[in-house]
Structure 1
């Protein structure tokens, strides 16, 4: 019996040695710690760690700034002084009025370049930036702006190196990845909200500005958040918070960094992208319009209006003309026409096919540069 016990004891020792040399039995193997794999897990799970979001915010917040603007307009805040009869009777001239605006931005280089939205600084006569660690606001100059993309690059002179954020790769972000928004909604500086990427490549229109490739998120974005960063869990910027849906909650939009990278050098060097312009207002031909115009099918972009002096007027385009081909590209709807125009260059001459009074006609049009006073 003693020999049996001795054999059993030796067998246990042998098994233990083998297990140690092979890394342990799979059934007993403990999971590896994920404490040091934050980057591998970033953007995938909310449970990267209890302090992951707090750590990202702590590192990123000093590079997020508040942007204050002043716009000079004519008139008075008192509605009586806006009445032309009142002004004429009392001989009062229209007085300049200072209007204030607010938004967000973030520093992208230690020497003080700041990214924000174009609509945050549009029309501003002066721009000041509140930077963490400075006891006064810093004056900012616009180095470049793109109305269509709604992007602007500012420059401040801080006198010392600044903390800054890195631009991440928005193409690699996935629907469902966690994101963090930091900004100044309603003037409440450095407000933090979290959420996920709800969708990618969203096209939306806000007023007369048409966005084509936005990130959609349910992280709360409010007035004043515009221009602030949308961060992944590595602390890299994957979008610029831009717009919210006025008809729903939990639907916000951000310009992806893939768009920013394409124009960043142009913004830094104040190089304006060509804005090709035709000078028409169009809408898609639907079934009702097709019947009214006597068309065989509901296809094309119908002209609602032609701007005086525009390339369209010079080419002979008229209201109710239906554009079915532009520069060799078939046009099925208004969006396709807008895209086709954007793919041309100012000064380029293109051929067009139109339907006018049920007859197919050909026109030649010289695309122009869009005037600054036309949005």
Structure 2
């Protein structure tokens, strides 16, 4: 992501037998709030009446710790997700990246089973569950543990989106399941309380408390590029992935997804409003349809201006054109400079990415290119990104 420093992070996926050095500790004094005093008892009231009123007041004050009460109500809707998969042959770069942090033989011989652990939360009484994509990615079997039940439910992947690291699962239970209410992450302020519930290191329903440390944090995790993550100092560890980040009303404001492996008290969550924008597509279509141009880009730097021998200072330079992409079909070439889209100036690579991202699959756009000292207009039909493609 141009203009932002890539933070070395590790997606929070617990691997069986793994070990992460260091620990994250957070001491929090939970404020206890009491109800306003009742109306003064009349001077004519009897001693027994005074005693009754005092007892009633004590009952009203009982269990008024806001966080504890919220966790009691929200906790049952948080689930543990156990996955198992079979590793074959050499490992992918993504798996090697994880094993650098979580341990294990980076070059397994033959086949071996890999067990992983994560978290999730139920959003509907009939068993729809939201979690991270990396929690269930490539899993052969997925089991879900619901609080209060001995049975482990078989889960089916309904939809997934690698770009936002989201997935929706479905389990079938005989009775209605507890659910969590989705909040509004746009209303969050830096300094607001945040509560994370999950299964770090396999420790069921661990609760950690902190505040929102920052908003709109950019972060790169493998191939995923995030622009607006929530940062919290509520401790998040391997196994928390996919679990909810809650406000004091018990509403989900984010999905815990990553930590900074080199720091304490720095965790990241996907804002719930970002999730809600794609949730319907994940449930009903199984994926998020994303526009695709099929090029790599870089800004038109002074060095590139000198290289091309031009005096333009704005634009996006095409560094690579993917085979079979909309850009290739339209005639894009390496070294082309995108100057305009639909007569709107393109000032940088990031702006071009944003403009294409706002397009719809199948839309036509007019691109003004600068190539070999001449301007050329080409028509591009925006395609749909295929996450299974290597391009």
**Partner Cα distance (2:255, 2:106) in 1:** 37
- Structure 1 residue runs without a partner (length 5+): 1-32, 38-48, 83-94
Give the equivalent residue in structure 1 for 2:34.
35
2:203 to 181, 188, 196: 188
Aligned residue pairs total: 320
**Partner Cα distance (1:328, 1:246) in 2:** 45
Using the TM superposition, name which of 188-197 and 324-333 deviates more: 324-333
Give the equivalent residue in structure 2 for 1:374.
389
SS in 2 for 1:61: helix
CA contact (8 A) 1:228 1:241 kept: yes
Deviation digits for residues 279-331 of structure 1 (CA, Å, limit 9, x no counterpart): 11112233333332333244222222111222222222122222222344322
Listed as ranges, the matches of 1:1-375 within 5 Å are 35-36=34-35, 51-75=65-89, 82=109, 95-374=110-389
**Partner Cα distance (2:389, 2:72) in 1:** 42
Larger radius of gyration: 1
> What is the root-mean-square deviation in Å for CA atoms of aligned residues?
2.6
TM-score normalised per structure 2: 0.75
> Per residue, is there more helix in 1 or in 2?
1
Deviation digits for residues 222-268 of structure 1 (CA, Å, limit 9, x no counterpart): 22211100011111111111122345432222112212222223222
> Higher relative contact order by CA 8 Å / sep ≥ 6: 1 or 2?
2
CA contact (8 A) 2:87 2:113 kept: yes
Shift of residue 175, structure 1, vs aligned partner? 1.3
Give the equivalent residue in structure 2 for 1:87.
none
Q: After the TM superposition, which parts of structure 1 deviate over 6 Å for at least 4 consecutive aligned residues?
A: 76-81
Shift of residue 350, structure 1, vs aligned partner? 1.4
**Partner Cα distance (1:79, 1:207) in 2:** 17
Give the equivalent residue in structure 1 for 2:6.
none
Pick closer, same or farther for the CA change 1:358–1:199 going to 2, 3 Å.
Answer: farther
**Partner Cα distance (2:178, 2:69) in 1:** 15
TM-score normalised per structure 1: 0.78
CA contact (8 A) 2:33 2:66 kept: no
- Structure 2 residue runs without a partner (length 5+): 1-31, 37-62, 91-103
Pick closer, same or farther for the CA change 1:286–1:193 going to 2, 3 Å.
Answer: farther
Deviation digits for residues 118-156 of structure 1 (CA, Å, limit 9, x no counterpart): 222122222111111122321111122223222211111
Pick closer, same or farther for the CA change 1:277–1:190 going to 2, 3 Å.
Answer: same
SS in 2 for 1:351: strand
CA contact (8 A) 2:158 2:286 kept: no
Pick closer, same or farther for the CA change 1:327–1:140 going to 2, 3 Å.
Answer: farther
**Partner Cα distance (2:106, 2:364) in 1:** 49
**Partner Cα distance (1:136, 1:308) in 2:** 48
